[in-house]
Structure 1
Amino acid sequence: MNIRTEIIAVGSELLLGQIVNSNAQFLSKELAELGMNVYYHTVVGDNPTRLEQAIKIAKERSNIIIFTGGLGPTKDDLTKETISKSLGKELIFDQAALESIEQYFVQTKRIMSENNKKQALVLDGSYILKNDYGMAPGMALEVDHTIYMLLPGPPSEMKPMFQNYGREYFQNQLGFQEKIISRVLRFFGIGESQLETDIQDIIDEQINPTVAPLASEGEVTLRLTAKHVDEEVANQLLNELEQKIHARVGEYLYGYEQTTLAQELKTLLIDKQKTISAAESLTGGMFSEQLTALEGSSQFLKGSIISYSNEMKAQILNVSKQTLDEYGAVSEQCAKEMAEQVRKISNSDIGISFTGVAGPEPHEGQPVGTVFIGISIKDSETKIYPFHFAGSRKGIRVRTVKYGCHYLVKLLSEIE
Structure 2
Amino acid sequence: MNIRTEIIAVGSELLLGQIVNSNAQFLSQELAELGLSVYYHTVVGDNPSRLESAINNAKERSNVIIFTGGLGPTKDDLTKETISKVLGRELTFDVEALESIERYFTQTKRIMSENNKKQALVIDGSYILKNDYGMAPGMAVDIDGMIYMLLPGPPSEMKPMFENYGREYFQTKLGFQDKIISRVLRYFGIGESQLETDIQDIIDGQTNPTIAPLAADGEVTLRLTAKHKDEHIAQKLLNETEKRINDRVGEFFYGYEQTTLVHELNKLLMKKGKTISAAESLTGGMFSEYITSLDGASQIFKGSIVSYTNEVKEQILKVQKRTLEQFGAVSEECAREMAEQIRKLSKSDIGISFTGAAGPQPHEGQPVGTVFIAISMGDQNSNVFKLNLAGSRKGIRVRSVKYGCHYLVKLLNEIE
TM-score (norm 1): 0.90
1:364 CA drift (Å): 0.8
- Whether contact under 8 Å (2:374, 2:384) holds in the other structure is yes
* Closer/same/farther in 2, CA of residues 298 and 3 from structure 1, 3 Å limit: same
1:121-169 deviations in Å (ceiling 9; x for gaps)? 2415544434556554433233444322122334454344323432222
Q: CA deviation at 1:222?
A: 1.1
Letter in 2 for 1:278: A
- Say whether 1:33 aligns with 2:36: no
Distance in 2, matches of 1:16 and 1:323, equals: 52
- Partner AA of 1:34 in structure 2: L
Please list the CA deviations of residues 296-342 of structure 1 after superposition, one character each: whole Å capped at 9, or x if unmatched: 22221222322222222233322222222222211112212221222
The answer for the alignment partner of 2:90 in structure 1 is: 89
Compute the displacement of 1:113 (Å). 7.2
The equivalences for 1:167-186 within 5 A come to: 167-186=167-186
- The equivalent of 2:4 in structure 1 is 4
> Are positions 1:98 and 2:97 aligned together?
no
1:374–1:382 CA contact under 8 A, matched in 2 = yes
The one-letter amino acid of 2:263's match is Q
- The alpha-carbon distance between structure 1 residues 141 and 410, as it changes in their structure 2 partners (threshold 3 A), is same
The answer for unaligned runs of 5 or more in structure 1 is none
- Which position in structure 2 is the counterpart of 1:44? 44
Cα distance in 2, alignment partners of residues 154 and 371 from structure 1: 40
Q: 1:101 to 1:311 in 2, by over 3 A?
A: farther
Residue number in structure 2 paired with 1:166: 166
Query: Do residues 291 (structure 1) and 281 (structure 2) align?
Result: no
Residue in structure 2 matched with residue 396 of structure 1 by the alignment? 396
Q: Is the 1:122–1:139 contact (alpha carbons within 8 Å) kept by the matching residues of 2?
A: no
1:17-416 matched pairs, under 5 angstroms: 17-87=17-87, 88-92=89-93, 94-95=97-98, 97-98=100-101, 102=105, 106=108, 114=113, 117=116, 120-123=119-122, 125-131=125-131, 136-416=136-416
SS at 1:211's partner residue?
A: strand
**Do the aligned partners of residues 139 and 297 (structure 1) sit closer, same or farther apart at CA in structure 2, a change above 3 Å counting?**
farther
Q: Kindly tell me: are residues 56 and 409 of structure 1, through their superposed partners in 2, closer, same or farther at Cα, counting changes over 3 Å?
A: same
Residue identity opposite 2:120 in structure 1: L
Q: Which deviations, in whole Å up to 9, do the C-alpha atoms of 1:85-132 show, x marking residues without a partner?
A: 4443325351575278559x95xxx96874894685241554443455
CA distance in 1, matches of 2:100, 2:300: 42
What is the RMSD computed on CA atoms of the aligned residues?
A: 2.6
SS in 2 for 1:329: coil
Measure how far apart 1:355 and its partner are.
Answer: 0.9
Q: How big is each residue's C-alpha offset from its partner over 1:338-393, in whole Å with a ceiling of 9 and x where there is no partner? A: 21222222222211111111111111111000001111122322211111111121
Q: 2:396 and 2:348 mapped to 1: Cα distance?
A: 27
- In structure 1, what is the Cα distance between the partners aligned to 2:298 and 2:121? 45
Taking the aligned partners of 1:334 and 1:238, their CA distance within structure 2 comes to 46
CA contact (8 A) 1:11 1:46 kept: yes
Structure 2 CA distance for partners of 1:151 and 1:286, relative to 1, 3 Å: farther
Change beyond 3 A, Cα 1:126–1:46 = same
Stretch of structure 1 that moved more, 149-158 or 399-408 = 149-158
Contact 1:370 / 1:389 at 8 angstroms: preserved in 2?
yes
Q: SS in structure 2 opposite 1:308?
A: coil
Structure 1 residues 116 and 248 mapped into 2: Cα distance closer, same or farther (>3 Å)?
Answer: farther
Instruction: Supply the distance in 1 between the matched residues of 2:133 and 2:337 (Cα, whole angstroms).
Output: 46
| Aligned mates of 2:359, 2:153 — CA distance in 1 | 36
Q: Is the 8 A contact 2:182 2:225 kept in 1?
A: yes
1:147-196 CA deviation, whole Å, 9 max, x = no partner? Answer: 22122334454344323432222111111111111111111111111111
| Counterpart Cα distance in 2 of 1:40 and 1:244 | 33
Which amino acid in structure 1 is aligned with residue 172 of structure 2? N
Whether the 8 Å contact between 2:184 and 2:223 is mirrored in structure 1 is yes
Q: Distance in 2 between matches of 1:134 and 1:378?
A: 54
Deviation per CA, 1:195-243: give whole Å up to 9, x if none.
Answer: 1111111111111111111111211111111111111111111111111
SS in 2 for 1:374: strand
The DSSP-based 3-state class of the residue aligned with 2:362 is coil
Change (3 A) 1:89 1:201: same
Paired with 1:8 and 1:371, the residues of 2 have a C-alpha distance of 44
Alpha-carbon distance change, 229 to 372 in structure 1, aligned in 2, over 3 angstroms: same
Give me the whole-angstrom Cα distance separating, in 1, the residues matched to 2:65 and 2:253. Answer: 38
Paired residues of 1:72 and 1:118 also in contact (CA < 8 A): no
Q: Is the 8 A contact 2:186 2:253 kept in 1?
A: yes
* Structure 2 counterpart of 1:31, one-letter code: L
User: Aligned with 1:360: secondary structure?
Assistant: coil
**Contact 2:73–2:119 under 8 Å retained in 1:** no
The farther-off stretch of 367-376 and 348-357 is: 348-357
| Cα drift, residue 272 of structure 1 | 0.9
CA contact (8 A) 1:119 1:137 kept: no
Q: Is the 8 A contact 1:130 1:161 kept in 2?
A: yes
Identity of aligned residues (%): 73
d(CA) in 2 for partners of 1:37, 1:379: 56
Unaligned runs of 5+ in 2: none
Contact 2:72 2:119 in 1 (8 A): no
Distance 1:357 1:309 in 2: 13
TM-score w.r.t. the length of structure 2 is: 0.90
Q: Residue 187 of structure 2 contacts residue 254 of structure 2 at CA under 8 Å; is this kept in 1? A: yes
Between stretches 370-379 and 115-124, larger displacement belongs to 115-124
